Every structure is written in C-alpha cells, then in structure tokens.
Amino acid sequence: MTERTVKSFAPATISNLGPGFDVLGVAIHSPGDAVIAKRRREPGLLFRLQTKQTQVPDDARKNVAAFVARLILGELRPPFGIELELQKSMPIGSGLGSSAASGVAAAIAVNALLPKPLARRDLLGFVLEGERFACGAVHADNVAPSLLGGARLIRSYAPLDVIRVPVHQSLVWVVVHPHLVVLTKKARALLPHRVPLKSAVRQSGNVAGLVLGLTMGNKDVLRRSVEDVIVEPVRAKMLPGFPEVKNAALRAGALGCSISGSGPSVFAIASSLLQAKRISRAMTRAFGQAAGVACDVFVSRTNDEGARIVWRRGS
C-alpha cells in the first residue's frame, strides 16, 4: 500500500449573525484549525494533538476531531487505518466555531484519503454529530460554512436543508475576540424555552432583512436587521463590556454588531476595509476600557472556499 498524507485547514466562522440563531453562519479566512492525516496499515485511528491552547483534550475519546475521524472510518470501513494529528490553533469557547473547525478539518483530511472520497455535502452529517459530541446540541451554523464556505442559511434541520447566501463583495467582517472563555453548553443553558409571538415575528423579519441586506450589500437594510431580540439580551450578561463594545462599533460606522455564536467574540459588519480597521480599533479600545481585557482582531472578507486541502503527498 502506497502511503498517502494530506494536510487540511478548516476556517473559523461567525454564527447567528445577530438574529439568525442556529440558522445563519459565515466562514472567515482566519483563524482556523489544521489536521495532518496519513494512511497506516493497522486499522483504526491513531490520534495526536499539537497545540498551545489550554483545555483541549488530547485523549482521542474526548476530542471532536478524533470523534469525527472515527465516525467516518466506522461508517465507510476503508482497508487501512488513519494516523491523525490535530494542529489546534483556535481556543475553546471563542464563539468562532472552534469545535466545528476541528471536526471539519478532520473530516476533510480523512475523506481525502479514502479510495472513493465523498462529496463535500455528504460530510455534513459526520461533522454535525461532532457538534453534538462537543457541545451536546446539533447545530449547523458553524460546521456548514466552515465545510462548504461562504454564508449559509440552515432552512431546516429535519430534513437538513442548507442554502448558500451570496454576500455582497463590498462587505467586510470584523471579529474582536477578548481573552475570555464562554462555553457553548453554558451559553445554551441560558436560552429561553418560550418566546413571545411578538418577539418571534420581529426576529423573523430581521433574519429575512439580514439575508437580503447581505446579498444586496444594502447598508440601510443591514443597519435595521442586525438586531437580536431573543438571544443577545440573555447572552450579553455573560460578556463583560459588551454594551460599550457594541456602541463603539456602531459609532465607528458599523452596519451592525452582535455576539458571535455563544461569545465572547463580538462581530461587526463594515462596508470597506478602511472602515473595518476603524471599527476594530474602536471595539478593542472599548473592551480594554470597559472590561480590562486584551483582544485578538480578525478582519476578513467572506471566505467562499471554506475548508481546503493544503497539500498532498503520495499517490
């Protein structure tokens, strides 16, 4: 058997995008996680972890990348095993789809080694199970854009229906990640079990307006639509300095600002790269003044490619 080795990369994502809880997400160019996978004669999975991040499990039984890889091997039963190294760059609890990036990177790498690789969309089920494993809930708003690229609308979960949302080329995403941790399981536990009809109607209108605004690049529609009346009011309490950061972003010209995923990352939408840099400086300064925390900043246009194979060796 000829050895084959691949390296994959899966990008971070912004999920919810304000009002689109569990149904909207977009891939950005960085940060992200990488996986190196190699065929081995022995069956099963040999897993290793390379990271400077804390709290990332190195036990294959507890790591989402290893879980997704084992799931694929168990389902498709190729005539070889896999040696897999997760190069984990993203911190856990960042609000940028950290577990999704790990699971997607593993799926892309293992799939590339198969005798008959699956179509990209056919990997969705495996990475969705990875999200269930990682945080106890099946939600596709991180894994779908990370796997497939671009912005994605999850129209339905039963059956799963994922639709690409074209994002106007003028729009730029700003993400500010404060050095705080918010675990998805804890953030989901705070969600309301009942929503007033008035709030549901307003939220539905905002989701529709947001999709339209992203597609058209309509600044006025985006300003009115990046409004979350259900989830943000609850999760904002977990994020020190969020009101000040949001106000700073809007004053600096952001078309909208909200919490990315479960937080603590906060995203904003800008209409140009120059404006995005001004907004990121204002948000970072506000986090420092209001919460006394340092931040990482990511400015990115929409990543339409999503996960990719970085290199291949062997044949």
Q: Tell me: the pLDDT tens digits for 193-242?
A: 899 999 999 999 999 999 999 999 999 999 999 999 999 999 998 899 99
Residue 17 to residue 302: CA distance in whole angstroms: 13
Do residues 117 and 81 share a domain?
A: yes
Query: 244: how many CB neighbours lie within 10 A of its CB?
Result: 16
Chain centroid offset of residue 99 CA: 8
Do residues 194 and 99 share a domain?
A: no
Do residues 129 and 29 share a domain?
A: yes
Which conformational region is residue 274 in: left (phi greater than 0), alpha (psi within -120 to 50 degrees), or beta? alpha
pLDDT digit string, tens, across residues 148-194: 999 999 999 999 999 999 999 999 999 999 998 776 667 677 788 89
Do residues 218 and 288 share a domain?
A: yes
Q: Which pLDDT band, with edges at 50, 70 and 90, does 120 fall under?
A: very high
| Residue 241 domain boundaries | 172-300
Do residues 182 and 80 share a domain?
A: no
Q: What is the pLDDT of residue 199?
A: 96
Q: What is the pTM of this model?
A: 0.94
Q: Which pLDDT band, with edges at 50, 70 and 90, does 314 fall under?
A: confident
pLDDT at 129 over 60: yes
For residue 4, the 8-state DSSP code is E
Count of structural domains within the chain? 2
Spell out the alpha helix ranges (H) of 237-302. Answer: 242-251, 273-291
